[in-house]
Amino acid sequence: MNFQLLLLTLCQGLFLTNNVTFIAINGLVGLALAPVPWMATLPVAGYVAGGAFAAPLVARHQRALGRRRAFQLGLLTAIATTALCAWAASSHQFWWLVAATVLAGYYNANAALYRFAATELVAPAFKERAISWVMAGGILGGVVGPGLASATRDALPVAFAGAYAALVGVALLSLLVMSFIRFPPLPLPNAAHPGRPLREMARQPVFIVAVAGCALGFGVMNLLMAATPIAMSQCAHPFSSTALVLEWHVLGMFVPSFFTGSLIRRFGVLRVMGAGVALNAVCIAVALSGVELEQFLVALFALGVGWNFLYVGGTTLFTEAYRPEEKTTAQAAMDSTVMATTTLTGLASGALVTTQGWTWLNLGSIVPMALAGAAIAWLALRRRRGMAAA
């Protein structure tokens, strides 16, 4: 792995440290401050909703400023918004906390493009591995995020305000690392290569299945992960156990990245995505079998690995759906869809787990996973028929 890709992997790790800490604490802080319990995961949903709304703006900033300066703008946003979260938690201001997480969505949408930017730092033949290696940076978030939340929980008088404050330092470190990365110029639309309209790109089967795999995989993962701290609290598990479950979940999300790219090259992207759907089914089955610590641990670990296969596979598949001059438009459309889906599941997560319980939350996850599996099978059948016809 070249040095530039290594630095971007570190930035991805710091980004996921922010996200995992948000996941570990936003629902609990929301539950403590929300006017009614079902609003508890609004700060979680606000973060991804803000990302969905910001994705088109991020695409414009990427074209106008280039990769590095746009990424630095995202990190400055992270510094400001995590500081605002710390103040809102300390002041018991629920709606300011929600507003801060919505604004932090700009950073979420911005840093989500690290995985696409990774392909620009290597030769085309290594794009699968570049995506995988950068995604592997999330291991840092899996290890540091829960520990950071636990260590800084009581650093300030109000619970978890210190965790938000610590994320300011995380973003500052990432800002420093980003300053050493040199990205090649982005190819932009011009008279010779104007690029296709988004609606034309979106009609391609490969576009549809890649977006469906990423969006539905991320949506189900977010639905169950965001609810886990609340569900475990309802089952009288201590926060240390919740942090352990989240740590193994995030390790499941990112450790496979060391070999997901190789699996894709060996078995094909659609088979790897299909394995992701199967692992989500394992997660649901284990979660429905009981609410002991071991069952939360195994279910969330399987959920993490399943997400990795769907998300890395979907991202790799998506690189076939656009031309170089179309990448910022296409990537913004992909991430807007993913974040809009996770916004809906984030909102549903708090409402379902506090009103219907953990069991119904898992049963509801079967439908989107069935849709993802059907989409992958459809594209595989189309390609098989195309090869037979050829």
CA angle 157, 238, 235 (to 5 degrees): 125
Mean pLDDT in residue range 90-105: 95
Percent share of the chain, pLDDT over 90: 62
Q: What is the CATH number of domain 3-184+196-389?
A: 1.20.1250.20
Percent share of the chain, pLDDT over 70: 100
- If pLDDT is split at 50, 70 and 90, which confidence band does 1 have? low
Please give the Cα distance from 324 to 335 (Å, whole number).
17
What is the pTM assigned to this prediction? 0.81
Residue 55: phi, psi to the nearest 5?
A: -55, -45
Tens-place pLDDT, residues 160-174 = 899 999 999 999 999
Mean pLDDT in residue range 66-83: 97
Mean pLDDT in residue range 344-355: 79
Task: Mention every residue, 6+ apart, whose C-beta is less than 8 A from residue 135.
Answer: 12, 115, 254, 257, 260, 308, 311, 312
